[in-house]
Structure 1
Amino acid sequence: MSERMNVSIKLESRQDGAVQVNEHRGELFRKDRSLYIRYEEPIEGEANSEPIRSLIRYRQGELLITRRGAVDSEQLFAVGGKRAGRYRSPIMSFQMETETEQLALHAEDAAEGELAEPPFTIEWKYDLWIDEHLSGRFHIRLHIQGEQ
């Protein structure tokens, strides 16, 4: 893989039977034993709002999502136990935990968990806990496709 690559990102989130799909353009790069995906999320309905800059770091067995801008949050996903995170916006702020049931990178030409060339999918299932109460169960698929 070249140092940096422009990619199309499709984020599919399932919670309690409801599906939400978001598409973005971003950048993929590799550093050490990790893949990084960087993109911006516009704030819908607010023309002058600061976009949310998202950075996803995947390495075998661990996924970290950091968001900065109109929202400031950090979530860590790793199978086995709960992982601390946080969320802050102008409206609210809270601590949260994720309990990950599954985390895998799927690619046609790569062994399970191997850092792959696009196209590939990172898939994870987790429970979200807020103030020690189960807030929701999620199944996420992050599809990455190289752009020409």
Structure 2
Amino acid sequence: MKEQTPVSLYIHSKIRNDGETETIEFRSSGSFYIKDSVPYLTYKEEQEYGTIQTIVKMKPEETIVFRKGAVSMKQRFIKDAETLTHYKTPLGTLQMTTYTSRVAQIINHESAEGKLEIEYELHMGEGQTHLHTLLIDFKEAKS
């Protein structure tokens, strides 16, 4: 495994549901590294339940987001495909279906910077559908 490069991240998430839009934005510090020629990002996120460690694996044909800590899940994004996710919280486990309409990755391995954009529909039982747009912008942290 190549050494990890410290990065600054900007995460912007937009959730549309029944004509309402919720926007979540935050900055975090994390790491960028390459493992088996696949780029990875890791960062921590504070939520109401506690701290969540997030790992983003960016393969050309599939992006996977692993979350551990206060909540845990493994969410797969494959363009024009539906995937199943189990979202575990202190309150219980939800089963969700993700349909990914767009994945765009622009990654510069040498400078440890890039952008990841994902657009997807999230279905959570009882016909609840949320439209999500996720943007992760990252660049090497300057010390």
TM-score by length of 2: 0.85
- Superposed, 1:1-148 pairs within 5 Å as 3-16=3-16, 17-44=21-48, 49=50, 51-106=51-106, 117-131=111-125, 133-148=127-142
Q: How many equivalent residue pairs?
A: 137
Q: Which runs of 5+ in 1 are unaligned?
A: none
Superposed displacement of residue 3, structure 1 = 2.3
How far apart, in 2, do the equivalents of 1:78 and 1:37 lie? 18
Q: Is the 8 A contact 2:79 2:102 kept in 1?
A: yes
Superposed displacement of residue 132, structure 1 = 6.8
Q: Is the 8 A contact 2:12 2:136 kept in 1?
A: yes
Aligned residue for 1:133, secondary structure, equals coil
* Alpha-carbon distance change, 18 to 116 in structure 1, aligned in 2, over 3 angstroms: farther
Structure holding more strand per residue: 2
Q: Is the 8 A contact 2:62 2:76 kept in 1?
A: yes
Q: Once the two structures are aligned, what percentage of the paired residues are identical?
A: 22
CA RMSD of aligned residues (A): 2.0
Q: Is the 8 A contact 2:32 2:112 kept in 1?
A: no
Superposed displacement of residue 41, structure 1 = 1.6
